[in-house]
Amino acid sequence: MSKKSQYEILLDQISTEIFSLNTKDKHSIEKIIDSKYVDNFNIYQNNLFYFINDKFQSQLIGSFKHMGKDNFRYFIRKFILDRGISSIIVNEVLLSFTHYIKKSFDIHEDKMLESLINIDLLWNGHGEASTWVIEGSIIYWKSLVEDIELNEVEVDFDQEEKIQRLFIDDQLCMKKISTRKKRDRIEA
């Protein structure tokens, strides 16, 4: 392995510090950055975090509102720290994040989240043109997205429905196309 150049070492240090999202020891940065600007370094950490957070929030709006801001941000942060960002295409990273969240979040405790993620992805045109979700979850998703308080949402966790994304008169819609008894794991 060839020896790293000074330039490469510098980029290693800066990149690692940014992906840590929080510089605990300023001394390491002070060795490479002019002391007048050390306090500015968190701008780059914030840029990374909020870029991802804002992009994903806009694409997963139902899931975001269901989880709540703090939980959602917790998972964004954890995802960046655990996985880093491995594609230049944001939507590829978004899909990776949804897989991560499905694995990390206790889906058994929160049976609705997986369906909400699938609906968010479908609505925003990611992946296939249809998806299986828990029956009734689309009504709940709509209430979340439109900030409508529903007294009661009829959800049947033992049934799944297949919903499709389509345009009717130039308007984006989602339509139920079939139902079945719930399987152990919902297919995306």
Partner 1 sequence: MNFLKNKIHGLGLGLRFSHFNDILKSEHQCPWFEVITEDFLEHGDHHQKLLKLRQDYPISLHSVGLNLGGVDDIDLDYLKKIKSIYLKYQPDLVSDHLCWSSHQGKYHYDLLPIPRTKEGLSIVSERIDFIQNYLERPLVVENITSYIEYKEEDYSEIEFIQEISKKTGCFFLLDITNVLINFSNRGKNPDEFFGSFPMEKVKQIHLAGGVNKGNTIIDTHSEEVQDNDILELKKIKEKGYNIPAIIERDSNLPLFSLLEKERQEIEQKISI
In order of 37, 78, 144, the CA distances from 22 in angstroms are 16, 12, 32
Please tell me the distance from the alpha carbon of residue 119 to that of residue 59, in angstroms, as a whole number.
10
Single-letter residue type at 169: D
Residue from 65, 71, 73, 85 binding partner 1 (CB under 8 A): 85
Strands 130-135 and 171-181: unpaired
Tell me: does residue 43 bind partner 1 (CB under 8 A).
Answer: yes
Q: Locate tokens 């490469």: which residue?
A: 8
Site string for partner 1, 141-160 (x = CB under 8 A): --------------------
88 binds partner 1 (CB under 8 A): yes
Stretch binding partner 1 (CB under 8 A), from 35-43, 110-118, 137-145, 180-188 = 35-43
Query: What would the x/- binding string for partner 1 be over residues 108 to 137, using CB under 8 A?
Result: -----------------x------------
Q: Using CB under 8 A, which of 20, 22, 28, 47 touches partner 1?
A: 47
| Contact criterion met (CB below 8 Å) for 103 and 124 | no
Q: 116-130 burial, b for 16+ CB within 10 Å, e for fewer?
A: bbbbbbbbbebeeeb
Q: Applying CB under 8 A, which residues contact partner 1?
A: 5-8, 10-12, 14-15, 18-19, 31-34, 36-38, 40-41, 43-44, 47-48, 51-52, 54, 84-91, 93, 125
